[in-house]
Structure 1
Amino acid sequence: MKASLEEEYVAFVAARQLHLRRVAYAICGDWHRAEDLLQTAFTKLYLAWPRLRREGGEEAYVRTILVRANIDDHRRPWRRERSTSSPPDSAVPGTLAFEDESTLLDALRRLPDMQRRTVLLRHWLGLSVEETAAELGISAGTVKSHTSRALASLRSVLQEEPTP
């Protein structure tokens, strides 16, 4: 890759990394997996950078990779839980970050995967119904129904939570 293109790539990653990390976390619900997803996305972005830089749409490309990499990760056989006779040692609970304690993120984690993805893409990232459908590979009607169900579920959960 030419030096100027590489500098543009590095600048894009530096500018958008924190935001895209939060998107990855919202998609998968685990900071460690979010880092892995983001690393996969940045690697694939690097390979496609010369083409994407000419056409635009770098951030949409990364979001698509994040969603698809998360789906792929769930399909891997080693991700399936297995019963054991003795459970592994658990980590000592530490201080949780503000984002981990957020009531909204807890409510989002309770949603089924596809509902969570549609809400995040539609309302957090501000994509249209058509853009969300294209990113998830589903129809616009399916996006609307998943979003409607998710918002109804979020409303019921958040109304149960006491407000500070």
Structure 2
Amino acid sequence: MTEEEFATFYAQAAGRITGQVYVMTGDFHEAQDVVQEAFVRAWDRRRALDRGLGPEAWVRTVAWRLAVSRWRRARRGRLAWLRSGGPPPAGAPDPGMVDVAAALRRLPARQRQCAALYYVCDLPVERIAAETGLSAGTVKTHLSRARAGLAASLDHPVDASGGRDA
């Protein structure tokens, strides 16, 4: 991919990937940070990225992995504070949180990721399986559980068909 092609790719995909990662993480600023880091890594590999082979999926996967790594590091930091007997560092509350974002955050990470890839990114089950390294059956299980979890969190009955064919 040339520099001009990469610039076009970035302009077309950065906002979309940031929105997708935001849905997966529940933190817009974190999503912006990890997507920017993923694009920096993609820039270093731009000659190897082929537009036909899904550079957007590559960037989204790298951004998700970066977000998971940051979450683990922050969690270890909070646990270290608790073990030392001191209070954990205070985080700023998110006044703009909506019910759906809160419900998504309560889902296990894999369910949230699969649901975001399916409903926000509009990827088919097979593509989600390829991006996450899960089997198609496992993706369908995560989607089913995510729908049930969201319905319970939002006090809505679960549609037996799930709204879409999973």
Q: Tell me whether the two structures share a fold, i.e. TM-score over 0.5.
A: yes
Structure 2 distance, partners of 1:63, 1:89, is 30
The answer to whether 1:32 aligns with 2:29 is yes
Deviation sequence 1:51-100 (CA, Å, 0-9, x none): 32453412111112122223333454x64122154436646658x4xxx4
Residue of structure 2 in register with 1:145 after alignment: 141
After TM superposition, the score normalised by the length of structure 2 is: 0.77
Evaluate the alpha carbon distance shift between residue 91 and residue 75 of structure 1 in structure 2; reply closer, same or farther with a 3 A threshold.
Answer: closer
2:5 to 4, 8, 23: 8
After TM superposition, the score normalised by the length of structure 1 is: 0.78
Deviates more, 1:8-17 or 1:117-126: 8-17
Matched-pair contact (CA < 8 Å) for 2:35–2:60: no
Structure 2 distance, partners of 1:128, 1:14, is 24
CA apart distance, 1:118: 0.6
Aligned residues: 152
Structure 2 distance, partners of 1:63, 1:23, is 8
Residue of structure 1 in register with 2:20 after alignment: 23
Residue of structure 2 in register with 1:58 after alignment: 55
Structure 1 segments (4+ residues) deviating >6 Å: none
Structure 2 distance, partners of 1:131, 1:87, is 43
SS in 1 for 2:48: helix
Matched-pair contact (CA < 8 Å) for 1:114–1:146: yes
User: Which structure dedicates a bigger proportion of its chain to helix?
Assistant: 1
SS in 2 for 1:52: coil
List runs of 5+ in structure 2 lacking aligned partners: 157-166
In the TM superposition, what are the counterparts of 1:77-92 in structure 2 within 5 Å? 79-80=75-76, 81=78, 82=80, 83=82, 84-87=84-87, 90=90
Percentage of matched positions with identical amino acids: 39
Evaluate the alpha carbon distance shift between residue 132 and residue 10 of structure 1 in structure 2; reply closer, same or farther with a 3 A threshold.
Answer: same
RMSD: 2.5
Matched-pair contact (CA < 8 Å) for 2:128–2:139: yes
Matched-pair contact (CA < 8 Å) for 1:129–1:144: yes
List runs of 5+ in structure 1 lacking aligned partners: none
